[in-house]
Structure 1
Amino acid sequence: MYQLTFSFEAFMSEYWQKKPTVIKGGFKDFVDPISPDELAGLAMEEEVDSRYIAKRGNKWEVSHGPLSFDNMPGDNWSFVVQAANHWHEGAAKLVTPFRQLPSWLFDDLMISYSTPGGGVGPHIDQYDVFIIQGSGKRHWRVGPKKDDYEEEFGHPALRQIKGFEPIIDEILEPGDILYIPPGYPHDGYAIDTSMSYSVGFRSPKKQELLSSLADFVIANEMGDVHYHNPDLPTRTNSGAILNEEYQDLEAMMRSLLAHPHLMKQWIGEHLSNSRHELDIISAEPPWQNSETYQFLENGETMKRLGGLRAFYYPEQPYILYINGERFELPEECSFAATYLCDSEQVTSASLGKQLDHPAFIALLTQLVNLGYWYPVE
């Protein structure tokens, strides 16, 4: 189990979305949870999001997975695997210490393997990231946040900038953590062959929310009402949109938000959608409720699928939002419902008497058959 050596509460107070920092020895005696060969194996899979990045003189090369590792150069190249927590249980354990942050903000664990000189060049990201140094050493520079950095187009797949004056200039060793808030330029390259682990947190944009809300409104046939004004006045200036008419149309739009229970459903479903492919394997043959109950009653463990997003509202803890869908349990199952979202494993000892509730067992069986939870061998 990976444990942080510092107070996360103190970190949040001083640094979260305020300024970048290096935490030396953030993990004590750090050991890579995945080998380079295992990571390369993931990068060769069709379903896994991966990239190869190399620099030859002043030219950049980028290719997207599935990758092949034939005839590789000696140095100055990297490959990265996105959402590695979806595909590798050992790597997913690196995310657990960061669950002191809301899971709905968590995006993914990206893992990078770099040969000496390997990196992606100076760039700016719009999300919070904790970069954990694994084996090897990597030189990192971070610059101040400002709006006038000049973009550089070394390759269409790389959004780079021309450069910056560093406010952080450090060499990271195994177990060190570099935290970078959104908007701060940074550049890292491997000093020797190394592994890096980026735990990323990405907040939704207004554009994303508006687009998602529009889809929800249409799917649920909300607001299927035309503008209606029986007191419409005549006018000499037929091209004008009168202020009263503008106000009416704006009120029509705002009225779509005047449904708190539907808005909560939309937000819950939207946030529980994964941005990355999940390693879903539906149960075959399907489990029966009695099998699920007996499995847990025997002291066995059910585990949540890596990367699966599952949320609830504390004021309605019996309603769950899992992978873009809404599931509802009886109110008396509230504890078990929240446990599914807050914990990565389910056991009879953790559920207590709620294990005996048929509605909960029926839902858990449904989730197992969907491939969202699975029995630990």
Structure 2
Amino acid sequence: MKNISTLLGGLSIDEFLRDYWQKKPLLIRGAIPEFTGLLSPKQAIKLACTEEAQARLITQYNGEFELAQSPFTAKDFKDFGKAHWTVLLQGLNHHLPEAAELLKRFDFIPHARLDDLMVSYAPKGGGVGPHFDPYDVFLLQGLGHRRWQISTQADRTLIEGAPLRILQDFKVEQEWVLGPGDMLYLPPQCAHNGVAEDDCMTYSIGFRTPAYQELAEQFLVYLQDRIVVEGNYADPDLKTQAHPSEISSAMLTQVEQAIKQVRWDKGDIANFLGCYLSEPKPHIYFDTPETELSLKKFAKALSSNGIALNLKSQMLCRTDTVFMNGESTQVEAADYALLRELADNRSLPAQPECPEHVIETLYEWYLDGYLAPL
């Protein structure tokens, strides 16, 4: 792993996962020594004003916070007066190849856990207030300096009526000023507050931790299109009831037996997870190729140059199935390793001997805009 010795402050991956991951914070000076950022403040604001961007603008004046959601125009970033402000831009890895490359440094965490790369820009004094997140995050400093304060406090009381989940009583336990290339890892529920010391850009590598309630609800949605319960309710031996408004034990038992026919196993759960975790967020869409290659020309390009996933594509694997942007494809054992390589590295080098049926699968994904020849 490139620069892993500095990325984790001299810790091995196993040491980091054992001692820090989901357990306690870790400050890493010079995690990526050469890192100064991926884009300028002007470029970040320009990107936040595009239709594809998912961005938030947070202003703070006299302790009061206001939140605005994209889309924005350039006028939204003028005349702030004495207010402090911050712009947050989600999914930077969907827009910049350099952002996708940065995420590869964190491949020691499974792709199924990765959310996205967010960048925040704030002039001096900007921030989003003390808060806590239910997920793991690496906070990598680019341009400028940010003062981070953290707390492991149990008090989660929020300011009532605030547009953000801001802690009412934040008690600082530790604080540091991070400069370019420095990084802070925070486990879930670790309260933190970041304030820009100067023109400041911070890159947040976030990892999703879906709630079990959310997973259960979505699994039931997944099942509803896959279950078959035969028959209809029937009561040829119906008896009179003293109270016609009561649901009888006989009806309850019959319906209970019907519902018990609903079954699932580990394979169903694996297929659900692959589809659910690779499903693009609602605002993401894919463009089909402007000049569509024929299957023959696509195969030639694959043979000569290889392919790469679209920056917005999510690809996961499990046993004999690959999941591409919420869709599952079962593959032969001999082909699984090749497609897993594509998922692992988000690209494939030239494939002069790629099986024809694999080429056809890749070509379908190409037509959908999920990948393209290099």
| Superposition deviation, residue 287 in structure 1 | 2.6
User: Partner letter of residue 346 of structure 1?
Assistant: L
Matched residue pairs, number?
A: 365
**Counterparts in 2 of 1:140 and 1:159: CA distance versus 1, 3 Å:** same
Equivalent residue number for residue 151 of structure 1: 158
2:346 corresponds, among 329, 344, 347, to 344
Equivalent residue number for residue 373 of structure 1: 371
User: Partner letter of residue 116 of structure 2?
Assistant: D
Q: Say if 1:86 and 1:279, in contact at 8 Å, map to a contact too.
A: no
SS at match of 2:111: coil
1:213 corresponds, among 180, 205, 219, to 219
Q: Distance in 2 between matches of 1:167 and 1:228?
A: 66
Q: Say if 2:157 and 2:168, in contact at 8 Å, map to a contact too.
A: yes
| Identical-pair percentage | 29
User: Partner letter of residue 3 of structure 1?
Assistant: N
- TM-score, normalised by the number of residues in structure 1: 0.87
Equivalent residue number for residue 84 of structure 1: 92
Q: Distance in 1 between matches of 2:265 and 2:239?
A: 31
Describe the superposition over 1:317-338 as per-residue Cα deviations: whole angstroms up to 9, x where unpaired.
xx21111111233332122221
Equivalent residue number for residue 330 of structure 2: 328
Q: Distance in 2 between matches of 1:121 and 1:247?
A: 55
SS at match of 2:159: strand
Q: Say if 2:303 and 2:352, in contact at 8 Å, map to a contact too.
A: no
Q: Say if 2:136 and 2:186, in contact at 8 Å, map to a contact too.
A: yes
- TM-score, normalised by the number of residues in structure 2: 0.87
1:64 corresponds, among 61, 69, 73, to 69
Structure 1: runs of 5 or more not aligned: none
| Superposition deviation, residue 289 in structure 1 | 2.2
User: Partner letter of residue 356 of structure 2?
Assistant: P
Equivalent residue number for residue 143 of structure 2: 135
**Counterparts in 2 of 1:276 and 1:81: CA distance versus 1, 3 Å:** farther
| Superposition deviation, residue 352 in structure 1 | 6.4
Describe the superposition over 1:224-280 as per-residue Cα deviations: whole angstroms up to 9, x where unpaired.
66678999999989958869967983x765653434433332222112112363352
Q: Say if 1:287 and 1:365, in contact at 8 Å, map to a contact too.
A: no
Q: Distance in 2 between matches of 1:342 and 1:162?
A: 42
Q: Distance in 1 between matches of 2:260 and 2:40?
A: 52
How do 1:203-352 residues align onto structure 2 when only pairs under 5 Å count?
203-223=209-229, 249=256, 256-275=262-281, 277-278=283-284, 280-298=286-304, 300-314=305-319, 316=320, 319-348=321-350, 351=351
Q: Distance in 1 between matches of 2:87 and 2:222?
A: 37
Say what the alpha-carbon RMSD is for the aligned residues.
2.8
Equivalent residue number for residue 187 of structure 2: 181
Q: Distance in 2 between matches of 1:2 and 1:78?
A: 32
SS at match of 1:161: coil
**Counterparts in 2 of 1:232 and 1:44: CA distance versus 1, 3 Å:** same
**Counterparts in 2 of 1:78 and 1:167: CA distance versus 1, 3 Å:** same
**Counterparts in 2 of 1:236 and 1:53: CA distance versus 1, 3 Å:** same
User: Partner letter of residue 80 of structure 2?
Assistant: P
Equivalent residue number for residue 20 of structure 1: 25
User: Partner letter of residue 181 of structure 2?
Assistant: G
Q: Distance in 1 between matches of 2:87 and 2:117?
A: 14
Q: Say if 2:302 and 2:352, in contact at 8 Å, map to a contact too.
A: no
| Superposition deviation, residue 178 in structure 1 | 1.1
2:360 corresponds, among 359, 362, 366, to 362
Q: Say if 1:86 and 1:92, in contact at 8 Å, map to a contact too.
A: yes
